[in-house]
A and B are shown apart, each in its own frame.
Chain A
Amino acid sequence: GENVEQHPSTLSVQEGDSAVIKCTYSDSASNYFPWYKQELGKRPQLIIDIRSNVGEKKDQRIAVTLNKTAKHFSLHITETQPEDSAVYFCAANSDYGGSQGNLIFGKGTKLSVKP
């Protein structure tokens, strides 16, 4: 089955700096890679996703890149703000017997943005 590794587990940056979180996946059949942001005590929120037919996707200050050959994808946050502080999870869909519905998550990255 699919396995997703996420690094780093914690990341501390100064306000205004960039933050990069990296994930690798094992199943070459995976074709959907979302990123979720979870603030303390709240539900995970989908912030951006990318499909395997695209190499990069941007949405204002956040971007995601995908390297299918190397089986890794990354989240980039530019001009970080204190409200970006949260736990970020990457995920990949799992191809199990032809089904591609459920997601396998990385263990999360706790991002702290210092003012």
Chain B
Amino acid sequence: EAGVTQSPTHLIKTRGQQATLRCSPISGHTSVYWYQQALGLGLQFLLWYDEGEERNRGNFPPRFSGRQFPNYSSELNVNALELEDSALYLCASSLDRRAGGAYEQYFGPGTRLTVT
């Protein structure tokens, strides 16, 4: 079974530009989560999508947004990039929590975003 995949592996942008990151969940998983891991810091929750809808978002400004497509893949968009947005962006997927409370989340390899 293929795991969670993310693209691109690395992304270099300049301040003020927009970045688009992509995630494909494990087959059968309907929930997708985005986390930011800045250097030396833990995993900060960004966004949670389930069945095409945004279920929850973390303490991040509105320029962080995303969507989930009918095939459950997801996209994270970061507008007006700032230097402090440089981080590893991790995507995770899980089964629908309503299907028996299956909360296990499995992570993709991440996209390393560098803002110069």
Contacts and interface: CB of A to CB of B under 8 A. Distances in A.
Interface string A35-58: 010000011111001010000000
A16 B109 CA distance: 30
Interface residues of B, number: 25
A56 to B, nearest CB: 19
B48 to A, nearest CB: 5
B42 A107 contact: yes
Interface string A1-44: 00000000000000000000000000000001010100000111
B103 A32 contact: yes
Nearest to A32: B103
A94 B56 contact: yes
Q: How large is the interface on A (under 10, 10 to 19, 20 to 34, 35 or more residues)?
A: 20 to 34
Interface string B100-116: 01011111111000000
A103 B31 CA distance: 12
A69 interface: no
Contacts of A49: 103-104
Contacts of A107: 41-42
Interface in B50-66: 50, 55-56, 58
Interface SS of A by simple majority: strand
B53 to A, nearest CB: 11
A101 B50 contact: yes
A44 B3 CA distance: 13
B97 A100 contact: yes
Contact of A102 (B33, B42, B110): B33
Given A42-B109, A49-B104, A106-B42, 18 more contacts: A43-B110, A44-B43, A44-B90, A46-B106, A51-B101, A94-B45, A94-B56, A99-B48, A99-B55, A100-B97, A101-B33, A101-B56, A101-B94, A101-B97, A101-B103, A103-B33, A104-B45, A107-B41
